[in-house]
């Protein structure tokens, strides 16, 4: 409770500027107590309140933050101009745009691969295999959990959660309790799995691209992340129904080229890691090079007779479905990227970057990392991630850039990734599954198991401090 209170106090330092001291800007102006600073804070708060109410207003989250980013930088530029520093705002905003561009292109390449594998029925084939095996509820609980934990590091936690959620819904149609517990388990597992890989979550990707941790260092979080998933799963497994659902007849075959696309995806990851580790090139260049692999393979599919009928059959060999012949179009896969999410990142990075230019993040950093201490601050980041969102919270920490050991950077990477599991609305995976569950997975249903999740959260922090003590 004390840590949670401290988290809200840190937010107050941002929302009540009179409580903090002025910070230096590139032109030595104190904008933290300027009317433009106050107004910028108000704009950001209103925008993020709209983001948090997206489920009710149906207003896509990218819209308010993009507008907020534009307005904040207009205010900064106006004040800079009136004080005789016309180029200061331009230099600052270009730095933020460059950071966004690298993140945008990296994610665009990754999303295109995920969409290509989805179109080739890679994920559907896995789902079909699971629902046709006749596993018990307890077996499915652990299988879907571990699959989410190990798929999330290479895909993303949202795609992983939706895939496993479809399996749970299909076999748990007659058991609301299984669906609720299964969904909570998948959310925790997907978020935990994403925490030990640069590709598993936006926050880990941002830390890696910033050069604060090397690729291999993220895997030091494997055991803490596993603990974060397994501990609450053990508690929840005790409440599972003991019945065994009927096996469903569903056999889905992957389309031509599916396995080769999976191989190309891993080759793309290897390219990004190799270019960064051996040639000191940004990872985004490797990802875009890997996107070219997929583009050439798509060209090959089209030229070698991609137009064909695909059949899905039941376990008895009977034909269940015949699809229409469709050509594999790589630009269609690019167009199906999560554009609202990509544009949301633009708004967040530019808006938070604007607040950093004003000086508010410097003040928050002073309180959190100098007065509280790095460990307390990084644990608090996890709670903030559950309430707000881990992306702006992590970007704020990266902008603060506190002087920390690798162990502390790993800690904040872990807490920002798994903190969202504390609440159903704390991560994209949880929000998506609430919409998919048809009322069987709710905010209150998740909240009921928060004590168990909290035990896993602190257990993972303790295990990290124990096994990675040499990194602190």
Lowest mean pLDDT across 1-15, 218-232, 316-330, 414-428:
1-15
DSSP string, 341-355: HHHHHHHHHHHHHHH
Angle separating helix axes 88-119 and 283-303, nearest 10 degrees: 40
- State residue 26's pLDDT score: 52
CA 76, CA 351: separation in Å to the nearest integer?
Answer: 11
Express each pLDDT in 3-52 by its tens digit.
Answer: 443 443 344 444 443 333 333 445 466 788 889 999 999 999 999 888 87
How confident is residue 324, by pLDDT bands cut at 50, 70 and 90?
low
- State residue 82's pLDDT score: 87
Average pLDDT on 209-221 reads 91
In this structure, the dihedral spanned by the alpha carbons of residues 362, 363, 365 and 366, taken in order and rounded to 10 degrees, is 120
How far CA 97 is from CA of 36, 89, 361, in Å, comes to 21, 12, 18
C-alpha dihedral sign at 129, 131, 132, 134: positive
Lowest mean pLDDT across 81-90, 234-243, 279-288:
81-90
- State residue 64's pLDDT score: 93
In this structure, the dihedral spanned by the alpha carbons of residues 262, 264, 266 and 272, taken in order and rounded to 10 degrees, is -150
Write the CB contacts of 163 (distance below 8 Å, at least 6 apart in sequence).
123, 126, 127, 151
Average pLDDT on 442-455 reads 90
Average pLDDT on 73-86 reads 88
Query: What are the φ and ψ backbone dihedral angles of 325, each rounded to 5 degrees?
Result: -70, 125
Q: Which residue has the tokens 């168990």?
A: 452
Most confident of 14-23, 207-216, 360-369, 427-436: 207-216
DSSP-derived 3-state class of residue 251: strand
Lowest mean pLDDT across 127-131, 173-177, 245-249, 395-399:
245-249
- State residue 71's pLDDT score: 97
CA 47, CA 37: separation in Å to the nearest integer?
Answer: 15
Domain positions in the chain are 101-335
What letter does residue 312 receive in the DSSP assignment? E
312: β partners: 321
The helix (run of H) or strand (run of E) holding residue 137 is helix 137-151
Report the candidate in 315, 276, 318, 341 with the shortest Cα–Cα distance to residue 107: 341
DSSP-derived 3-state class of residue 321: strand
Q: Which residue has the tokens 């230099």?
A: 91
Any idea how long the chain is?
Answer: 472
Express each pLDDT in 267-298 by its tens digit.
Answer: 998 998 899 888 889 889 999 999 999 999 99
Answer for the pair 157, 190: CB distance below 8 angstroms, yes or no.
Answer: yes
This prediction has a pTM of 0.76
Average pLDDT on 133-148 reads 89
Phi-psi domain of 97 (left: phi exceeds 0; alpha: psi -120 through 50; beta: other): alpha
- State residue 6's pLDDT score: 41
CA 172, CA 150: separation in Å to the nearest integer?
Answer: 22
Answer for the pair 419, 453: CB distance below 8 angstroms, yes or no.
Answer: no
CA 392, CA 398: separation in Å to the nearest integer?
Answer: 10
Answer for the pair 190, 429: CB distance below 8 angstroms, yes or no.
Answer: yes
Most confident of 270-279, 344-353, 361-370, 460-469: 460-469
């Amino acid at each position: 409770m004390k840590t949670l209170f401290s988290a809200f106090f840190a937010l107050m330092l941002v929302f009540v500027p009179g409580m903090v001291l002025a910070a230096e800007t590139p032109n030595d102006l104190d904008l933290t107590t300027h009317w433009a600073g106050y107004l910028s804070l108000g704009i950001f708060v209103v925008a993020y309140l709209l983001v948090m109410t997206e489920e009710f207003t149906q207003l896509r989250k990218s819209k308010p933050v993009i507008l907020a980013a534009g307005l904040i930088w207009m205010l900064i530029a106006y004040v800079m101009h009136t004080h005789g520093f016309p180029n200061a705002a331009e230099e600052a905003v270009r730095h933020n745009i460059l950071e966004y561009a690298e993140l945008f292109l990296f994610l665009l390449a990754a999303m295109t691969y995920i969409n290509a594998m989805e179109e080739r029925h890679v994920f559907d084939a896995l789902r079909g295999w699971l629902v046709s095996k006749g596993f018990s509820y307890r077996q499915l609980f652990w299988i879907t959990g571990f699959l989410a934990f190990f798929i999330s590091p290479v895909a993303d936690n949202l795609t992983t959660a939706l895939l496993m959620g479809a399996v749970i819904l299909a076999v748990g149609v007659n058991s609301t309790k299984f669906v609720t517990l299964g969904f909570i388990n998948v959310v925790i597992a997907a978020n935990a799995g994403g925490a030990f890989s640069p590709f598993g979550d936006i926050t880990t990707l941002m830390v890696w691209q910033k050069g604060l941790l090397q690729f291999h260092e993220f895997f030091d979080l494997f055991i803490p992340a596993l603990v974060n998933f397994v501990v609450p799963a053990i508690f929840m497994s005790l409440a599972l129904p003991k019945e065994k659902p009927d096996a469903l007849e569903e056999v889905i075959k992957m389309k031509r080229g599916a396995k080769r696309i999976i191989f190309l995806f891993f080759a793309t990851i290897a390219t990004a890691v190799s270019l960064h580790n051996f040639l000191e090139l940004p990872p985004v260049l490797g990802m875009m090079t890997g996107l070219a692999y997929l583009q050439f393979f798509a060209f090959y599919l089209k030229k070698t007779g991609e137009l064909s009928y695909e059949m899905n059959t039941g376990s008895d060999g009977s034909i269940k479905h015949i699809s229409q012949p469709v050509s594999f179009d790589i630009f269609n896969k690019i167009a199906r990227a999560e554009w609202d999410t990509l544009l949301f990142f633009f708004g967040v990075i530019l808006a938070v970057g604007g607040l950093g230019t004003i000086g508010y993040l410097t003040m928050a950093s002073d309180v959190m990392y100098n007065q509280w201490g790095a460990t307390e601050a990084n644990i608090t980041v996890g709670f903030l991630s559950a309430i707000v969102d881990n992306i702006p919270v992590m970007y704020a920490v990266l902008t603060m850039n506190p002087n920390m050991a690798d162990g502390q950077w790993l800690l904040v990477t872990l807490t920002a990734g798994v903190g969202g599991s504390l609440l159903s609305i704390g991560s994209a995976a949880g929000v998506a599954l609430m919409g998919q569950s048809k009322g069987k997975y709710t905010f209150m249903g998740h909240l009921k198991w928060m004590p168990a999740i909290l035990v896993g959260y602190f257990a993972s922090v303790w295990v990290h401090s124990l096994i990675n003590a040499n990194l602190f």
